[in-house]
Amino acid sequence: MTVLEIKNITKTFHQNKSEISVLEDISFSVDKDEFVCIVGPSGCGKSTLLRIIAGLEKADSGEILFHGQPQKSPNPKITMIFQLFGLLPWKTALENVEIPLEVLEIKKEAREEIAKSYLRMVGLEGFENIYPHDLSGGMKQRVGIARALALQPEVLLMDEPFSSLDELTAKTLRTLVLEIWHDPSLPTNTFLMVSHNVEEAVYMADRVMVMSPRPGRIVGEVRVDLPRPRMEYLRAPEYFHRVDEVVAILEKGKH
Amino acid sequence: MRRAKQAVAFIAGLLVIVVMYWLVMNFVKNPEISSLPYYTFRTLLRITITLGISIAWGVSFGILASTNKTASIILVPFIDLLQSVPILGYFPVVILFFISLFQGSEIGIEISAILLLFTSMAWAIFFGVVGAIKGIPTNIVESAQSFGLTGFKYMRHVIIPAIVPALISGATLAWCDGWFFMIAAEYVMYQGNIYSVPGLGYYLAKAAYVYNDLKLSGILLVLITAIVLYLNFLIWHRLMEGASTGTYKPAIKMDLSGVGKLGALSPSWLHLGDRVHRPKSLILFSKWLKRYTRLEKVIAIVLSLVAISFIIYFIAGRIPSIEEFQKAFADPEFANLPVYTVLTLGRLGVAYVISLGIALGMGILAAEHKKVAAIFYPIYDIGQAVPILALFPIFFVTFSRAFGGAFGLEITAIVVLVLDMIWYMFLNVVSAVKSIPSEIKEVGHLFGFKGLKRVTHLVIPAILPAIVTGSILSWGTGWNTIIFAEYMPYELEITGGQPLTLPGLGSYLDKTGYLPPPKGNPIRLFFLLSLIAAIVLLMEGLVWRRLLRKFEKYRVEV
């Protein structure tokens, strides 16, 4: 079943009277329970694309369909985690998770309960009253994940969620994200991630969409049918085969 | 094309000003009107000379203080302490000294005017230079060292390029400070005599107080504003645009504490948007506040005590005796000091709350809505070009005609204070809102924050550090203004030929400084000055530093 449909998205930035074409006719769709990853060189507009899907930016033309309905503004069913975590520094971990619930006008006790349970899920029990300033990068991203999950979205968008973390932390968090994706008790099961790390994309995704440098176009798609969990395949030739395939498309897309 | 446009603006602006002068000189009737160009020339010359001196001093001492550790330990806290004393407060001392030195000749008054202007202009340049040198990224310093750049070459290739933007912005601030203090410096009533040097400030004061001609003072104010605006656009805007490219820390805006009207920043800073990297200066600023060790503070206090006793000695001619101390504090008004302190703090507080409220509303709107900005920026542009102290005589004459003397003065004081304090707050709010990281704004958008909820949960917490910085600057300039604003020494018709005072610390300081003995008394004057400096430092330590430290955590890490 198709959850998200991206149809002919085009976007141009205007700067100092010159026009910079960022996205050119992007179309693809994401199915229920699917994990899709968008890979591309930096500056190819993949983050802009994700923001358009989230409703944070407007496309010049084309549309985003969520269960067939056009999406124009942010929707609690589609939520996002950020590269730099996007935590409000003046709120504690717990308050940060409560924010989206507060906007939905859920009562104080109820939202505290919900927020606490999600913080527990991402392994941050006991850190509820700590400010982001005093949390490590990995912990901040855990708060970011808890905050996104607290809304019980169907779709989770991730904008290079691990690229500002050290590799060891990133590894742990990738596992956490995959566990969340697998967890049948959670409604959040359709994942769309933006990354510039090909290995990460092949390791995590069912399908890797490859974008060209600016103006960003989809230049190819690699289906990753390796069985999960993939930890044991990380040294397998099948895995490297997929990685090479993605890299080859990336290279070709440059010309 | 751009060049042609600039040339047109240059000539058109000049023409407008020439026409204005011609109109004023031909249609305004006043015995001194024909001297208007001469007054303009004298004021311009005075401010330019002082600017030159300030730059020379600020650059040399700034480089010294930031490259030499010993010099820094002695200089920086000392200068910081000096600038926490309201400039207008120690003006009587300066005047007394130079008038007696030159036996009342004009050169003595001229030198004290320049010295007053200098003390208002030099800090901005000094701290700008120090901040810029401290702000040179370590990797640049290290790479310069590894390539063997030392001494003069290091100065030429690293230090000088680093301080140019700060120098230009510091000089801009200093230039505007100069206009701010001009009116106070050119026309002074001291011990019953009026000491003045020819200039626009002198003429403006005379128009209001001597000729009692509100129309003329209004016209002069418009003229002054036009000249300031014209020169701002002509020189500073251009220099600033030129300086903000090609350096690794563009258009450094230093934020400095204590008293000192930093005058006007031009909105081109705001338009430059992302190029002006304000959070960095905020970080620098808060580091600055936390930096003093106990040793530095002790050295600063000892040094200033030495300086103060030196000056007292100079003025009294010898070390004062115990009887003289007793005499100094025998003044009957001295018992009112606590009440005066509360009243003055109250006035400042009221003006601060008003300007904070207006600046927050205006600033957030202007930063987030282009259409509102299109209305506010020109207002800001003109508003900040008006020398606030120059408004004082005009407001006073207007309000006291409407409400009577004392109440008129009270209203004038508050209005002038608000007009003086509001621009710092506005500028800080606008730039802080503009520099909220896009991720934070996106989070707000994603989770559906709107309207008031967005402002209270997202915008205000994000700009709290900037609000504190703006508050420090506002209070600093406010202290200066209130010394001017509580006291109306001239024997005007409206006040029934009597000097008029609002009970408060500012007016008491003025009386102690400017009136003949026994009311005037140098020892008490120093006491009152130290009291104000102590209040300023106390507020900085107890309120602002604490708040800054608390809000440090709130800074969004990018």
With beta carbons under 8 A apart, name residues in chain A contacting B552: 133
What lies within 8 Å, CB to CB, of B210 at 6+ separation is: none
The alpha carbons of chain A give a radius of gyration, in whole angstroms, of 18
Give the residue from B446, B552, B555 with the most A CB atoms within 10 Å of its CB, the best one to mutate: B446
- Rounded CA-CA distance A211/A219 in Å is 5
Q: Decide if the complex's ipTM is over 0.85.
A: no
pLDDT at B273 exceeding the cut of 80: no
A86 touches chain B (CB under 8 A): yes
B555 touches chain A (CB under 8 A): yes
The mean-pLDDT minimum among A22-26, B46-50, B90-94, B155-159 falls in B90-94
Nearest to A86 among B442, B449, B462 (CB): B442
pLDDT at B258 exceeding the cut of 50: no
User: pLDDT higher for B242 or B431?
Assistant: B431
CA distance from start to end of chain A? 35
B window 388-447, beta carbon within 8 A of A:
437, 439-440, 442-443, 445-447
A80 touches chain B (CB under 8 A): yes
What is the pLDDT confidence band of residue B524, given thresholds at 50, 70 and 90?
A: confident
Query: What is the predicted pLDDT for the residue at B514?
Result: 80
- The proportion of chain A whose per-residue pLDDT surpasses 90, expressed as a percent, equals 66
Query: What is the predicted pLDDT for the residue at A178?
Result: 93
A72 touches chain B (CB under 8 A): no
With beta carbons under 8 A apart, name residues in chain A contacting B555: 89, 133
What is the pLDDT confidence band of residue B276, given thresholds at 50, 70 and 90?
A: very low
Give the mean model confidence (pLDDT) for residues B494-509. Answer: 80
Nearest residue on chain A to B465, alpha-carbon basis: A90
B449 touches chain A (CB under 8 A): yes
**What is the tens place of the pLDDT at every residue in A163-205?**
989 999 999 999 999 999 999 899 989 999 999 899 999 999 9
pLDDT at A248 exceeding the cut of 70: yes
With beta carbons under 8 A apart, name residues in chain B contacting A97: none
Task: Test A82 with B442 for CB contact under 8 angstroms.
Answer: yes
Q: Are A139 and A127 contacting, i.e. CB atoms less than 8 angstroms apart?
A: yes
**What is the tens place of the pLDDT at every residue in A122-149?**
999 999 999 988 899 999 999 999 999 9
Is B62 in a helix, a strand, or coil? Answer: helix
Task: Say how many residues make up chain A.
Answer: 255
What lies within 8 Å, CB to CB, of B9 at 6+ separation is: B233
**What is the tens place of the pLDDT at every residue in A88-128?**
888 899 999 998 888 888 899 999 999 999 999 999 999 99
Give the residue from A47, A90, A96, A151 with the most B CB atoms within 10 Å of its CB, the best one to mutate: A90
- Rounded CA-CA distance A194/A159 in Å is 5
Nearest to A79 among B446, B449, B558 (CB): B446
A window 50-69, beta carbon within 8 A of B:
51, 54-56
pLDDT at B249 exceeding the cut of 60: no
Nearest to B445 among A56, A82, A151 (CB): A56
B279 touches chain A (CB under 8 A): no
The DSSP code for B385 is: T
Task: Test B447 with A84 for CB contact under 8 angstroms.
Answer: no
The whole model's pTM is what?
0.76
A99 touches chain B (CB under 8 A): yes
Query: What is the predicted pLDDT for the residue at B493?
Result: 64
Q: How many Cα neighbours within 13 Å face the side chain of B241?
A: 11
Six token digits for residue A91: 């709120």
Task: Test B557 with A84 for CB contact under 8 angstroms.
Answer: yes
**What is the tens place of the pLDDT at every residue in B290-324?**
555 556 666 666 666 777 766 666 665 556 677 77
**Burial class of residue B155 in the structure, from the number of CB atoms within 10 Å of its CB (0-12 exposed, 13-18 middle, 19+ buried):** middle
B541 touches chain A (CB under 8 A): no
Query: What is the predicted pLDDT for the residue at A162?
Result: 93
B557 touches chain A (CB under 8 A): yes
A13 touches chain B (CB under 8 A): no
User: Which of A2-6, B183-187, B280-284 is modeled with the greatest confidence?
Assistant: A2-6
Nearest residue on chain B to A101, alpha-carbon basis: B447
Give the closest-approach CA distance of B446 to chain A in angstroms: 5
Query: What is the predicted pLDDT for the residue at B295?
Result: 61
Task: Say how many residues make up chain B.
Answer: 558
Six token digits for residue B351: 């003006």
In angstroms, the Cα distances linking B437 to A82, A194, B293, B440, B464 are: 12, 20, 33, 6, 14
User: pLDDT higher for B352 or B449?
Assistant: B352
The CB density around residue B146, as the number of other CB atoms within 10 Å, is 8
Task: Test A56 with B442 for CB contact under 8 angstroms.
Answer: yes
Give the mean model confidence (pLDDT) for residues B345-354. Answer: 95
Mean residue pLDDT of chain B comes to 77
Which residue's entry shows tokens 């033309």?
Answer: A61
With beta carbons under 8 A apart, name residues in chain B contacting A101: none
- Cβ-based contacts under 8 A for chains A and B: 62
Task: Test B457 with A89 for CB contact under 8 angstroms.
Answer: no
Query: What is the predicted pLDDT for the residue at A232?
Result: 85
Give the closest-approach CA distance of B454 to chain A in angstroms: 10
In angstroms, the Cα distances linking B548 to B239, B260, B278, B426, B472 are: 32, 20, 15, 18, 11
Task: Test B457 with A54 for CB contact under 8 angstroms.
Answer: no
A184 touches chain B (CB under 8 A): no
What is the pLDDT confidence band of residue B281, given thresholds at 50, 70 and 90?
A: very low
A41 touches chain B (CB under 8 A): no
**What is the tens place of the pLDDT at every residue in B358-403?**
999 988 888 888 888 788 777 777 776 777 777 787 888 888 888 8
Query: What is the predicted pLDDT for the residue at B327?
Result: 77
With beta carbons under 8 A apart, name residues in chain A contacting B274: none
**Burial class of residue A117 in the structure, from the number of CB atoms within 10 Å of its CB (0-12 exposed, 13-18 middle, 19+ buried):** middle
Q: Are B223 and B230 contacting, i.e. CB atoms less than 8 angstroms apart?
A: no
